[in-house]
Amino acid sequence: MLKDRFVTHADLKEAAAIERRRQYEESRKKRIFNAKQRLYGQDHQALEKQIHEKQEAKQSQNEQERKWNAEFCRRNEVINAKEREKGLEKKRQLNDLHFYRCQYQKKEDSRDYDLIDPKTRNEVARTADNDARLGISSAQVFAGEDILIHERKRLQKQQLKAWLEQQMKEKRQAEADRNEADIILQKTMNSRDQLALEMANMERNNAQRMQYAVLNYNKKLANEQNWKRQLAKKHEDEDNKAEIYNMITSDILTENPDVAQSRMGLHRKIAFEYRGMNAEELEHFKREQCKQIEERKKRETEEKLKEQMWDQMDMNITRACMLKKSEQEEKNKKNTIILNEENVRLAQNQKSQNTYIDKVLYANECTEKFFDQFNTTSR
């Protein structure tokens, strides 16, 4: 019979440690047995780029939420201000209504107050038709006996007209107060918008003035550069004209033969002033030229003889190399035949040896159980 076992804190701690080691071993096996990850690893640069993009997106989202919250708070403040204004207006209307009722709608001014007036309830003596003490239940005033009906109706109309005029005046005053409050609020909002517009216009004007100053400076600089270019072109044209005049009037173009004679001797000439040879010099030059032609033909004949000798020597060397190559090819053929025969013999020996190993020496085969005992852990 099995006995109950009490689980202690040490048992729970040991079980947690075993589970932690098992999970670590499983994660390590995934890393070790994954050849691609083991050889190449992870792209840390791409991961850092993704982290940076997530942080930027999070910052952008936080900034957007902050702006929305600020806008929400501002609108709530405007709504609360409107609600407070409405509450104050409603409270003021209620106070005005209460004051009006207390001032113009008293209980003793009501039409039936004489029925509940404790002072005149028990008085029935009639002194006149308009006696204030006579009520409906006095049995002293009857229909058709009201001689002051017109005066009474006139007074009632005047009283009703006064009440209506007072109500209209109070309503107009309340409407004027509301309009004034709306005007003040609108002026406040307009002043704020006007201030923002003025600031924007100021910034735009400053930018325009800056652009205008930069444009003027660039125009001045361009004009100065154009003036310098024109001045330089003018100087260059003057220099070119002076140079052309000097060249035209120089001894080079006029071909003055006296300027070519050197002061160092009669047969010495100035090279950059020299313009040609005389008849004797030309004759001497032609004789030397013919002499050089004959010498060059002689050198060409000697070079042709040398080339023929070198060609004959090249042909002899080529013939000897071809003979040597033929002998080497014959020798290589014989060696190839011998090597093929040796390879055939070795192949037969290896085939018989493999047959002996597969059929006799290693007759047993490896099952899946043999291979399953490898790579079971990461250690």
Q: Residue 115, CB half-sphere, CA atoms under 13 Å: how many?
A: 6
The full set of domain ranges for the chain reads 59-98, 169-276, 282-329
Handedness of CA 295, 298, 302, 304 (dihedral sign): positive
Tokens 């007209």 correspond to 161
Cβ atoms of residues 38 and 32 within 8 Å: yes
CB-based contact 148:132 (threshold 8 Å)? no
204 vs 273, residue with greater confidence: 204
Quote the mean pLDDT of the chain. 80
Distance, in Å, from the CA atom of 340 to the CA atom of 347, rounded to the nearest integer, reads 10
pLDDT tier, 3 (very low <50, low <70, confident <90, very high otherwise): very low
- pTM beyond cutoff 0.85: no
Residue 125 neighbours by CB under 8 Å, 6+ apart? 133
DSSP structure class, residue 358: I
88-114 pLDDT, tens digit each: 999 999 988 888 888 887 777 777 776
Does residue 152 contact residue 146 with C-beta atoms inside 8 Å? yes
Split at pLDDT 50, 70, 90, the class of 196 is confident
- Structure confidence at residue 1 (pLDDT): 40
Of the pLDDT bands very low, low, confident and very high (cuts 50, 70, 90), residue 227 is: very high
Task: Give residue-wise pLDDT tens across range 307-359.
Answer: 888 888 888 888 888 888 888 898 999 999 999 999 999 999 988 888 888 77
Average pLDDT over residues 101-130: 68
Percentage of the chain exceeding pLDDT 90: 8
* Tally of helices (H runs) and strands (E runs) in the chain: 8, 0
Q: Which residue has the tokens 């330089």?
A: 232
Give 290's pLDDT tier (boundaries 50, 70, 90): very high
